[in-house]
Structure 1
Amino acid sequence: MRIMKTIQKVPGGLMVVPLMLGALLNTIDQAHLPFIESILKALGASPTENGYYEFFKIGGFTEALFKTGSLTLIAMFLFCAGSQMDLKVGGKSLKKGVLVTLSKYLTGLTVGYTFSLFFDPMNGLLGLSSLAIIAAMTNSNGGMFAALTGQYGNRSDVGAVAILSLNDGPFFTLLALGMMGSQFPFIAFISVLLPILIGMLLGNLDQELRDFLKPGETLTIPFFSFALGAGMNFINFFNPKVVGAGVTLGIMTTLLTGLIGIGVLKLFREKSQIAGIAEASTAGNAAATPTAIATAAAAAANSGLMSTQRAQEFQNIADLATIQISLSTLTTAILCPLAVILWDRHQRKKGIDGTREEFKQQKHVSKDSQSASQ
């Protein structure tokens, strides 16, 4: 039936398609259609607290996997993603990776903070929140980066993905919100970072373990995506403001993080800036960040560092931020490759071939000059 190939044709499909399917089924579930409730009741399902019968709440493995398992699955994803972060990175790749990662993070942080100064940080212009902005703009699609730099960049560009992968997951967003005044206990940072660190440690200690854990980096995505979608209701999202917010977020991500990335690489005298624009995307797994942040906020409220009302605000915007980030993923999946192609053409008009390493060019020139002198 070629289901997998069809899903892969959708930008961010492994994340977006299961998310939307889960949201669709949950929307039907929440409609409490009489014939569905009658079937569930006849099968012996237990009613919810409100007296309804819902197929996502029949208990057992089904409910644990498809309805309530998102946090566990996200944690597993972070563990497996951490195992793929290679600490053995070449000097030039390390430099580019640090530059593009920091430029992307600081751009997202600046935009999110500026937004909070002029609008409601929880539900501002177009229904956007600082959480959604920072999560979308600081988390890039590593697979897309590798593919684009593999075609239009050089080896050190591709190698930079090892550093860029550090922005996978909610840790950077949590750190940004902390710097903006949201008081999270230190244990909240540890709880988010620990699965990544353990995975990173194991992956760098044993190549066989890294190879073993590699499938988990993609295998878990559709499962936690579906579980996240199973907590959403399409009725809440079918309005122009939600679509407009997600598309705007995607445009800002490609335009702002791309331009800043290019500028930073130019500032540090990198002849080609393909890596700077190739990271101007939103990763599909960034949609998991709002739920993780809401969980951290609940922990902060329990420890007394955050008011219960403030923690509830994070919980209230989690679903909306998730769908906005998903729309940003789709938007950047179209805009980011287009931007890379245009920038590559611009560079080539100036005689810059982004696929060639600068030091190789320099060696070539030096050999030519030596032969000429002889």
Structure 2
Amino acid sequence: MRIKATLEKIPGGMMIIPLFLGALLKTFVPSFINIGSFSTALMTGAFPILAVYFVCVGSTISLQATPYIIKKGGSLFLAKIFSAALVGYLVGKLIPGGMLFGISALAFMAAMNDTNGGLYMALMQQFGTAEDVAAYSLQSIESGPFLTMVTLGVTGLAQFPLIAFIAAILPLVIGMILGNLDEDLRDFLGKAVPVLVPFFAFALGTGLDFNNIIKAGFRGILLGILVVTITGCALFITDKITGGTGVTGLAAASTAGNAVAVPAAIAAIDPAYKAVASAATVQVSTSVIVTAILVPIVTAWWAKRVSKA
């Protein structure tokens, strides 16, 4: 059986399918989750697994970058974060109830803050340069809940104590330190990143009701379209301003699979977001799939126009 190959054919499959399997278990056989011992720990231990995951992700972030990589990666990074903060502020502060089309500010920020690195690098290998591929080394800092915490704090949508910021980013920083001190450690820890994804995705899924997934899924499709549209415009303009053709910017207008874990992580720190965390998790997971389909289409279309010009 080619289970792994089949999962990889689905956009974000290693994240989405285990998440849905966990939700099915929670919906139809909830008592099984509390069977006990290691089995229950595996099915409910999303946060310990995520902590290890962020250490491993951090180890892959290199502190060495050429001026072009700093310029390109840094500008795209700032454009993505700024657009997420702006949309989050407008939704959370100016719209009654803090919802736009049933999508919370938390869902918008989580989906917009984090770029699908694998998708971006695959598109840049086809339509960009080696330097454009390497520019993701700066964008990879988006991984995890830290930047969403920052944007929520800056926009006044939440207040986190300093220790909460430190606690959220510490695993990532530890990984960065280890990976940059020892390349062998970077290689060792980096290999664990894709392995941990289905495990924390399944554990997150066991906290979701499948009935809510159906309700939130349609809004997730809209969220994915808005992510491509809003961040795509911001990134396209930024890329053009910094001397690019716009192709690199469009390739970064996606939602990363690990963004699915952000709403739950934020809700664990700020209980005010617990009410919307489950729906946001589903919406962000749907956005992962939608953006993984739309971004290559839009990027290829624009790259073809640029090549003709």
Match of 1:275 in 2: 248
Match of 1:202 in 2: 178
Equivalent residue for 1:247, pick from 200, 211, 221:
221
When the two structures are aligned, how many residues end up with a matched partner? 308
Separation of aligned partners in 2, 1:121 and 1:138: 22
- The reply to whether residue 85 of structure 1 matches residue 61 of structure 2 is yes
What is the letter of the counterpart of residue 12 of structure 1? G
Q: Secondary structure at the match of 2:144?
A: coil
CA shift for structure 1 position 95: 0.8
Equivalent residue for 2:34, pick from 24, 36, 57:
57
Q: Say if 1:141 and 1:58 are closer, same or farther in 2 by CA, change over 3 A.
A: same
Match of 1:148 in 2: 123
Match of 1:192 in 2: 168
Separation of aligned partners in 2, 1:91 and 1:160: 10
Higher helix share: 2
Q: Which runs of 4+ in 1 moved over 3 A?
A: none
Match of 2:21 in 1: 21
CA shift for structure 1 position 8: 0.5
Match of 1:175 in 2: 150
- The reply to whether residue 334 of structure 1 matches residue 309 of structure 2 is no
CA shift for structure 1 position 117: 3.0
Separation of aligned partners in 1, 2:212 and 2:133: 40
CA shift for structure 1 position 215: 1.6
State the percentage of identical aligned residues: 42
Cα displacement string for residues 84-105 of structure 1 (whole angstroms, at most 9, x for unaligned residues): 0011111111110001111011
Q: Say if 1:121 and 1:275 are closer, same or farther in 2 by CA, change over 3 A.
A: farther
User: Any conservation in 2 of the 1:11–1:333 contact (CA below 8 Å)?
Assistant: yes
Structure 2 stretches lacking a partner, 5+ long? none
Q: Say if 1:17 and 1:323 are closer, same or farther in 2 by CA, change over 3 A.
A: same
Separation of aligned partners in 2, 1:129 and 1:120: 11
CA shift for structure 1 position 349: 2.1
Cα displacement string for residues 106-130 of structure 1 (whole angstroms, at most 9, x for unaligned residues): 11111111112332465x2332110
What is the letter of the counterpart of residue 277 of structure 1? L
User: Any conservation in 2 of the 1:85–1:166 contact (CA below 8 Å)?
Assistant: yes
Match of 2:231 in 1: 257
Q: Say if 1:23 and 1:159 are closer, same or farther in 2 by CA, change over 3 A.
A: same
Q: Secondary structure at the match of 2:254?
A: coil
Equivalent residue for 2:265, pick from 278, 292, 297:
292
Separation of aligned partners in 1, 2:131 and 2:232: 18
User: Any conservation in 2 of the 1:12–1:330 contact (CA below 8 Å)?
Assistant: yes
Match of 1:135 in 2: 110
- The reply to whether residue 215 of structure 1 matches residue 191 of structure 2 is yes
User: Any conservation in 2 of the 1:121–1:130 contact (CA below 8 Å)?
Assistant: no
CA shift for structure 1 position 244: 2.7
Q: TM-score, normalised by structure 1?
A: 0.80
For 1:24-39, list aligned pairs within 5 A: 24-30=24-30
What is the letter of the counterpart of residue 250 of structure 2? I
Cα displacement string for residues 254-286 of structure 1 (whole angstroms, at most 9, x for unaligned residues): 111112111112222x14322211110001110
User: Any conservation in 2 of the 1:26–1:233 contact (CA below 8 Å)?
Assistant: yes
Separation of aligned partners in 1, 2:131 and 2:40: 45
CA RMSD of aligned residues (A): 1.2
Separation of aligned partners in 1, 2:293 and 2:279: 22
Equivalent residue for 1:159, pick from 117, 131, 134:
134
User: Any conservation in 2 of the 1:139–1:281 contact (CA below 8 Å)?
Assistant: yes
Separation of aligned partners in 2, 1:86 and 1:118: 39
Cα displacement string for residues 14-44 of structure 1 (whole angstroms, at most 9, x for unaligned residues): 10000001001111124xxxxxxxxxxxxxx
